[in-house]
Structure formats: C-alpha cells, structure tokens
Amino acid sequence: MIQYFKNLWRSRYIIVSLALQDIRNRYRRSIFGILWSVLMPLGLALIIASVYTIIWKTDIKTFLPFLLSGLTPWSFISGCSTNGAMAYLSAEGYIKQLPVKLELFPVRVMLGALIELLFGLIAFFVIVLLFNPALITFNLFLIPVALIIYMIAGTAMATIAATLQTFIRDYAPLQTLLLQAFFYVTPIIFTTEILAQRGANFELIYKFNPFYYFLQIMRDALLGNRPDLVTWLVAVGLSLGLLFVAILLVQKTRKQIVFKL
Amino acid sequence: MSKILIENVDLEFVFRPAGSIKDALVGKRIHEGEIKKVHALKNIHLELSDGDRLGVIGHNGAGKSTLLKTIAGIYTPTSGTVRLEGVPTCLFELATGFEMEASGYQNIKLRALMLGLTPREADAKTAEIAEFSGLGEHLKRPLKYYSSGMFLRLAFSISTAISPEILLLDEVVAAGDAGFIDKANQRMREMVDQVDILVFVSHSMDQIKAFCNRCIWMSGGRIVLQGEVDTVIDAYQTAMHLNPGNPELALNLE
C-alpha cells in the first residue's frame, strides 16, 4: 500500500512534466489556444440551455449554472475513465525500457482532466457573474475539498480502466457505452426534483447511482445548496474504496502488465 | 562495486487466445491446449562482477534480448532470482519512449527525469546533451518533424548521457552522417570503458571481440556455452558453418 504512494512521490517530477506537456500539446497552434478549455464547456452549456429554454421554457438564469455545475464534473469523470483506458498502452515505449513506475501514467491522465476541470470552473464563474451573481456564497470554500475527492476518485478510475483495458481489449468500447448510459441516468441535464415528482421509485435511480454523489458535492459547493453530510461522506467513502481497489490492482498486475502491452 | 547474480532463472511467456468479452459471456472456457507457452529463458545461471564485459551471441529468438530485459528488471522471471547491485542503464529500442508532439528539449528533460535525475540535474544535463546531438535550433521543434537520422542522433545522445554502473547494450547502431557516427562510436567506447559491468548483445563478432572479455552463446533460451570470447565465438561459427539452420544441433553432434 505504502509502496504505491512512495512510487508516486518519487515520480512527481515526471508526472508534472508529462501533464504539462499534455496541456501544451492539446491546443498547440490553435488560435484561441488554452482559451478553448473555457470556451468548450461554455458553448456546450449554451447549446443545451437554449434548447431547454425554448422547448420547455426553463428559466435560463437558474438552469445554465445548474447545467454547467453538472457537465464540468461529468467531463472530468468520463475523461479520467476514457483516457485512462489507454494510460498503460500508450506508455509502452517508457514501460518497456525505462525504470519508470507504472502507477504514474494514470495520474498523468487524471491531472490532464483536472486542469480541464479547473478551466470548466472558470467557465462556470463567467456564467454565474453574468446571469446569477447571487449564487456566489461561502460554499465556494468547499471547492478545494471536492477537488481533493475528485483527484482520488479520478486516479482510481483511470488506474482501473488502464488495467482492465490492458488485459481485455474489449473494455474501452464497453466503458464508453456504460458512461453514455450513466450520462442520461444521472441528474446532469435534469434535476433530482424531476425524478422525485415521478414518484419514490424514480428517486432510487439517483440514490443508488455512485456518480450522483460525486456530482452532488461539486454542486453543493458551486450552487450554494446546504451541504448534505451524508452525500459528502458517501463521496469520500466511494473515492477511498475505488482507490483501494486500484492500488490492489496495481500490486497484483505490476509484473504482468509489461508482457501484455 | 557492482554485481549481477542470476540464479535458476526461468521465464515463460504465456499467450492466451485473445480473451474477449464475447467468450466470457457465452461461458467459453479456454482449454489447456489453446494456451501457448514460450519458454524464453531456461535455467539461467550467471554471476558478473566489476570488470566483467559479457558478450551474448546466438540466433534470433535465442533469448538474448529477453535475458537483457530480465537483468534490467523490466521482465520479472517466472522462477529464480535476479539480484543487482548498481544502477543499470539499458540501451535498446532506441527509437521508442519519446513524446512525438513535444520538442527535442522537452524530451531530453523528460528522459533525464525518468532516469532518476532531479529537475535541477536534468536542466544541467540538457545543455550537454543538446551540444552532443549537434541538432542546434532543431531541438526547439516537435519530434514528429525530425528526419529519421536526426531522431536517432537525439535518441542516442539522450540515452548515453548518463554514465551508469551497469550497461545493458542491445546491438546499437548509431545513425546519422559520418561525423556523428565517429562521435557516437567514441562515446560508446568511453561508456564501455567506464562502466563496472557490461552485458552486450550483438550479431557482430568483431564488436564482441572488441568490447568483451567473456562470452555466452544462447540457444533456445539456454546458455549452451560460456567461456573465453575467442573459444565461444569459434565454436559458434563452426557450428553455424556445419549446420546453418540449427547450430545447436551441430554442437550436440560434436
């Protein structure tokens, strides 16, 4: 267990260097450059919100911040899983000839997604300042706490996806489908109230959905809800549980991975 | 003081028939017969200490590179032990392990970090590596725009910049223009002279004779002969001559 954290600590310079490169490369030679990381979530939210406002006459002032507060964390989660699946396979050149520690590559993926998430938060605050400044409350102090939980869960998800994909090459498309399904089942583009109105059975849809808890803690921080202790505890528990599984996987498969690349 | 101690090492690669989710869903069992095993290293014993320069010769697929990767700790043996005192550096697969989108400078820094240097040491080393590669302004461009010659120059300069205690060398062919080949050969010689232990895999008997003071001949994952360089090479070449398809057979006939 401790070995895992020791290895990561020893690899810290490599991880930072790789993550910075990923960011630099992503928008190299595009005119807006890094600004795209803010513009993309803004644009996507505007599109969905316009559709909702026109068709269902939703109030854009409350709906747009709500939407962004869910979309941004969701793209972090799906980014960690999707890109995480390739974390080991794309590092073949390093793993096969250099004394690098395996566990650093999923962290590289997580950091890339985290930086996108931070830019997404900037997009959120742009929208809030324009449409609904009342949302800015003391809850914002919860953002760093939520981010730490995200980093733990994101690293774990990327590690698990990387291991599964290395052993079973069918995993990535399956995961994409699953994530897509969860995107529609999780209250991201609709509220929990909508489900509650349909009856108690429908509430189970989100209450048993692990992703709900991860999204909800960020929403508490961003939208000034009264933070619900149970939700936060579930999120912390889930992320630590995932990390435990991830570390076990790393320990069990460390020696075999190189033969499977 | 460096040391390599290899005892009873066996390495088996297991190839399962591509396990797909479809098979798992329909409950298809993988039969014993479908699992292919390649016994890449069989009962290897080796003891090397300071001053040893070991040449490894043998046919393709004899297990030479696998042995090197096992010594390096990249492959974990199926059974037996590999013990190393001293820091190993591997020189094989020169052209892999780079970020194609990143510049030459960024790749130098990254590789230095991966070899265990701190950022400060890496920065200090960067200038030296850049100088040796002779790539000048090109180092600011992403690697994907390099010609294959430029690429190999960079790869060689990076890989040889840190002087190790144990050098594991797999048939490195320096590329580039004539001037660089000379420079590269000279650096190789310096490196080989400086390290405590050298393990050198090559098909060039001349190179083995130039660099090594011990030699092993591998075939089918086994060490079939070991001893003085000239003795082993002579035996190998005689066997090759007698039976080019299967030199091991020729050896047994003797």
Is B61 found in the same domain as B16?
A: yes
B123 in a structural domain: yes
At A36 the pLDDT is 84
Is B123 found in the same domain as B62?
A: no
* Axis-axis angle for helices A104-131, A60-84 (nearest 10): 170
At B214 the pLDDT is 94
Is B130 found in the same domain as B115?
A: yes
Is B137 found in the same domain as B182?
A: yes
Provide the domain limits for residue B130: 104-195
The DSSP H or E segment spanning A129 is: helix A104-131
B95 in a structural domain: no
Q: What span, in angstroms and rounded, lies between the C-alpha atoms of A220 and A218?
A: 5
At residue A241, what is the residue type? G
B210 in a structural domain: yes
φ/ψ of B117, rounded to 5, equals -80, 155
Shortest distance between the Cα of B94 and any Cα of chain A, in A, equals 9
B93 in a structural domain: no
Nearest CA in chain B to A253: B76
Is B157 found in the same domain as B133?
A: yes
At B175 the pLDDT is 57
B21, B73, B74: residue with CB nearest A174? B21
A28, A94, A168: residue with CB nearest B114? A94
Is B73 found in the same domain as B27?
A: yes
CA dihedral (B126, B129, B135, B136) positive or negative = positive
Is B130 found in the same domain as B190?
A: yes
At A114 the pLDDT is 95
B97 in a structural domain: no
Q: What is the 3-state secondary structure (H, E, C) of chain B?
A: CCEEEEEEEEEEEEECCCCCHHHHHCCCCCCHHHCEEEEEEEEEEEEEECCCEEEEEECCCCCHHHHHHHHHCCCCCCEEEEEEECCEEEECCCCCCCCCCCEHHHHHHHHHHHCCCCHHHHHHHHHHHHHHHCCHHHHHCEHHHCCHHHHHHHHHHHHCCCCCCEEEEECCCCCCCHHHHHHHHHHHHHHHHHCCEEEEECCCHHHHHHHCCEEEEEECCEEEEEECHHHHHHHHHHHHHHCCCCHHHHHHHC
Segments in chain B below pLDDT 70: 16-34, 172-176, 244-254
Give CA torsion, residues B244, B250, B251, B254, to 10 deg. Answer: -140
B7 in a structural domain: yes
Contacts of A99 in chain B (CB under 8 A): 72-73, 88, 114-116
Percent of chain A with pLDDT strictly greater than 70: 100
Pairing of strands B36-49, B197-201: unpaired
Pair of tokens at residue A123: 């997009």
Pair of tokens at residue A19: 């993550």
Q: Is the pLDDT of residue A233 over 70?
A: yes
* Axis-axis angle for helices B119-133, B148-159 (nearest 10): 130
Q: What span, in angstroms and rounded, lies between the C-alpha atoms of B1 and A160?
A: 41
Is B169 found in the same domain as B213?
A: no
Is B226 found in the same domain as B166?
A: no
Shortest distance between the Cα of A99 and any Cα of chain B, in A, equals 7
At residue B163, what is the residue type? S
At B24 the pLDDT is 61
Give CA torsion, residues B242, B243, B248, B249, to 10 deg. Answer: -100
Nearest CA in chain A to B122: A13
B18, B93, B111: residue with CB nearest A96? B93
CB–CB contact A14 B96 (8 Å): no
Could you tell me the CATH number of the domain that includes residue B183?
Answer: 3.40.50.300
CA B200 distance to own-chain centroid: 8
C-beta atoms surrounding A231 within 10 Å: 18
CB–CB contact A96 B99 (8 Å): no
pLDDT digit string, tens, across residues A96-149: 888 889 999 999 999 999 999 999 999 999 989 988 888 888 888 999 999 999
Is B80 found in the same domain as B13?
A: yes
- B113, B156, B160, B168: best mutation site toward chain A, by most A Cβ within 10 Å? B113
Number of independent structural domains in chain B: 2
Task: Give yes or no for B90 touching A (CB within 8 A).
Answer: yes
- Calculate ∠ Cα A20-A24-A28, nearest 5°: 170
B99 in a structural domain: no
pLDDT digit string, tens, across residues A31-63: 777 788 888 888 888 888 888 888 888 888 888
Q: Is A63 within 8 Å of A49 (Cβ atoms)?
A: yes
Burial of B102 (0-12, 13-18, 19+ CB in 10 A): buried
- B114, B144, B171: best mutation site toward chain A, by most A Cβ within 10 Å? B114
Name which residue leads in pLDDT, A165 or B175. A165
The residue written with tokens 């599984």 in the block is A245
Contacts of B69 in chain A (CB under 8 A): 96
Pair of tokens at residue B215: 């030699």
At A221 the pLDDT is 92
Is B168 found in the same domain as B150?
A: yes
Pair of tokens at residue B132: 């040796």
Is B206 found in the same domain as B175?
A: no
